[in-house]
Amino acid sequence: MDLLNNYTISVGTQTETQFKRADGIRSDGTLASYRDTDGKLWALAGHSNSGRIGMFCGSCIDDLAELYPISFNFADGHADYAFSGIRYPEGIKPRGAVWPFGLYICPGTHRFFCFFHNETAWRGRGTGYDAFGYCDKPAFDSDFRHVGLMHSDDEGKSWIFDRWVLTAETVCFTEAFNPEGDGKKGQPMGPISFGSGDFSIFVEPDGDYIYLYYNIIKANTDERHWTDCDIYVARTRKRCDGVIGDFVKYYDDAFCEAGNLGKESPIVLAGWHPRVVYLEKYGKYLMSSSLARLKPNGGMVNPIMEVRESEDMLHWSEPVQLTRDGELFGGHYVGLYEGGTAGQTNIIKGDDMVILTNGNGTDVTRYEVKIQ
């Protein structure tokens, strides 16, 4: 692995984008995008906890325009009716909002699939909870994550909830609080895990799989702060019949554990909200993420963008931190994208790329990027 030792990734001109908080698109994660077999580029932006989720379409990142706000053929929010009553794999009633972080369009049926992040505290409408109990806002982001799947047969206008596709090995409640009040055993207080989420997907252009790169956040409930935020990966086979199969997690050097409640091994330490692209010119994969290291105030996500290279999507180099005008560069969410009008946005054709950055529910900012 020598790309990052022999070349520099230069961050250049900054511009505004069409993804604006003032328009109700309060971006809170990396942009979910995919190009269909007709060459149209589609993207989902926003989330259901605040503002709205918009369905965008265009020829490239720069000319994506909102066609319509999406709607759900299911409810989110309250545990008594959210997500068609399909419980989390731990047997807990689901609740909360939808953060769309992955988009895939079936080449055989034109069915849209959205992989989304969900948390147990936000938008629970009185049933939200964290590691300590019911809440409207989680204490130090101590609520629990899952990845859900929904699909659309009308080009993203309306969506049907399918199921939960990714769940950590640890359960989504603690010994201090089980929202079902039944006999299941929660995680002991102290060092705990907040589950699987905060992700993006990488669809192999010529291979067989959809890869989902995700975070698991760990914390200490006694000290009331995060302790770790590492990156993991799972995958599912691509299909052409309008169906998505189950995910298999990477564990102990192999894809061998169930996507729901299976074991998992980290592939990168101290990285937040990963996104992977393939550099065609160099035959390398590049992962971008924000530095996840404990700060004096107890938070872990640092606005410093790091990149790592790989030849197999599993074994990654040491990080290189990006700079702009001599200063460390980054944001809460950062992602690399192909800016051209052909191919997928995670396949970089040459030396030019685009970085999109945003914070929690903020406008999205675009930067020109060049490999030199």
Position 148 pLDDT exceeds 90: yes
Q: Report the C-alpha gap between 78 and 321 in whole angstroms.
A: 41
C-alpha span between 304 and 289 (Å, rounded):
8
pLDDT of res. 294? 86
CA torsion angle 197 200 202 208 (round to 10): 30
What pLDDT band is residue 157 in, cutting at 50, 70 and 90?
very high
94-141 per-position pLDDT tens digit:
999 999 999 999 999 999 999 999 999 999 999 999 999 999 999 999
* Nearest-5° Cα angle at 207, 201 to 208: 75
**What's the rounded Cα separation, in Å, for the pair 31 and 248?**
24
pTM of the model: 0.97
Rounded mean pLDDT, 3-24: 96
Task: Return mean pLDDT, the chain.
Answer: 97
pLDDT digit string, tens, across residues 311-328: 999 999 999 999 999 999
pLDDT of residue 297 exceeding 80, the answer is: no
Torsion of CA 209, 317, 367, 102, to 10 degrees: 20
Phi, psi of 371 (to 5 degrees): -90, 125
Q: How much helix, strand and coil, in percent to the nearest 5, is found in the chain?
A: 5, 50, 50
Please give the Cα distance from 139 to 130 (Å, whole number): 7
213: β partners: 200, 233
Give yes or no for a contact between 118 and 94, defined as CB atoms under 8 angstroms apart. yes
Helix (H) or strand (E) holding 57: strand 53-58
Ramachandran class of 224: left when φ > 0, alpha when ψ lies in -120 to 50, beta otherwise: left
User: Angle CA(124)–CA(364)–CA(129) in degrees, nearest 5?
Assistant: 15
Read off the tokens for 303: 């606005």
The pLDDT value given to residue 299: 79
Closest CA to 367 of 319, 328, 329, 321: 329
Q: Take residue 11 and report the two structure tokens written for it.
A: 């961050």
What local confidence, expressed as pLDDT, does residue 295 receive?
A: 82
**Residue 297 DSSP symbol:** T
Given a cut of 70, whether residue 62 has pLDDT beyond it is yes
Q: What is the DSSP letter of 170?
A: S
* pLDDT given for residue 325 in this prediction: 95
Q: What pLDDT score does 1 carry?
A: 64
Please compute the mean of the pLDDT values over residues 327-351 and round it to a whole number.
97
The percentage of the chain sitting over the pLDDT mark of 70, rounded to a whole number, equals 99
Distance CA 244, CA 160 (A): 14
pLDDT above 70 (res 187): yes
Q: Which two tokens stand for residue 78?
A: 């309250």
Q: Is 317 helix (H, G, I), strand (E, B) or coil?
A: coil
225 φ, ψ to 5°? -160, 160
Q: Let me know: does 176 contact 269? Beta carbons within 8 Å.
A: no
Q: In which band, very low, low, confident or very high, does the pLDDT at 197 lie, cut at 50, 70 and 90?
A: very high
